Amino acid sequence: MNSKNRSFALTDALYLSIAIVPVLFGIVLKVLTGPGNRGISITGARIFFTVDFPVQPLVITETQINSWLVIITILGLCLYLTHGLNAAHPTKRQHLAEWIVEKTRAMTSANMGEGFESFPPFIAAIISLSAFSSLLSLFGLYAPTSDINVTAGWALGTFILITYYKNKCGPFHYLKSFGDPVPLLAPLNVISEFATPVSMAFRHYGNVLSGSVISVLVAAGLDGLWKIILGWLPGPVSDFALIRIGIPAILSIYFDLFSGCLQAYIFAMLTMLYISSGFPREDYQKRKENKRTQLIRREQ
């Protein structure tokens, strides 16, 4: 192996380590700092420490730590997939990276239409961040999507974008839209406007959290059933719940893997649909044509 190939392989190893080490760090951190649990334990994110600020203290919890671990992991995967791009001799990882880009562009174009060509990176970031955050539970780590503060922050960002595109024709046009189709419905339209980010946040948070709760309850129920059936046996046989092996794993495949990825896709779809549907495309085009016409008249 020459020096060029050795350097390429070492860079690949570095990028893969960036993707893998954060998850290992999270597991080690939980083992070293996590309290021993007995029986059923359904709690929120653990608090590591608090930083005093003038307005209010900044609380550092599992949510912030694990969110940064997910971000670093995604960064490592992106660096690995895009390392050594070559148009003449594309590699398998390059085909995978191109497939992800093409599918994201196609999905954005199909759901948002023209005028949103810059959105594929944003949508890809939402899907990957949400999916990887939910998949952390497969490693026994706290999923950031189980925290309402995380999903509420994402929903708030989406709400800001929705409001921005609704104001493309000016604040007056935006306020006037609350009276459509009947002015009497304006109060309901205002409530619906602010209900959008609330529903997005609670939908994502509730589905992920409910899956974790159900998995814990089923595991605890199987443990109790084992003790009822074979609890009379002496020794460690009565303490080792054999029926807990397999069934919780099957549930984890659905709640952690399938449901986590599904919720990421749904959140991204709602983001695209809300932003594109809120954009007054026809009125915006008419406004641009009127400005262009007025500019031509001034120049003449």
Query: Mind listing the pLDDT tens digit for each residue in 124-172?
Result: 999 999 999 988 888 888 889 988 999 999 999 999 999 998 888 888 8
Same domain, 158 and 265: yes
154 and 80 part of one domain: no
Residue type present at position 182: V
Q: What is the structure's pLDDT at 265? A: 92
Distance CA 194, CA 179 (A): 15
Express as a percent the part of the chain with pLDDT over 70: 87
Query: Which residues form the domain of 60?
Result: 1-28+46-84
Identify whether residues 253 and 284 lie together within a single domain: yes
Q: Are residues 140 and 18 in the same domain?
A: no
What is the widest separation between alpha-carbon atoms in the chain?
100
- Is there a single domain that holds both residue 69 and residue 125? no
CB count within 10 Å of CB 246 equals: 10
> Same domain for 58 and 171?
no
Quick one: pLDDT band at residue 192, thresholds 50, 70, 90? Answer: confident
pLDDT tens digits for 63-94?
999 999 999 999 999 999 999 888 888 889 99
Q: What is the Cα–Cα distance from 71 to 231, expressed in whole angstroms?
A: 45
Whether residue 92 is contained in a domain is answered as no
Lowest mean pLDDT, pick from 158-162, 171-175, 199-203, 291-295: 291-295
Q: Are residues 167 and 201 in the same domain?
A: yes
Shared-domain flag, residues 122 and 15: no
| 22 lies in the same domain as 140 | no
Domain-located, residue 36: no
Q: Is residue 171 part of a domain?
A: yes
Residues in the chain: 300
Q: Are residues 14 and 135 in the same domain?
A: no
Domain count, the chain: 2
Whether the model pTM is above 0.75: yes
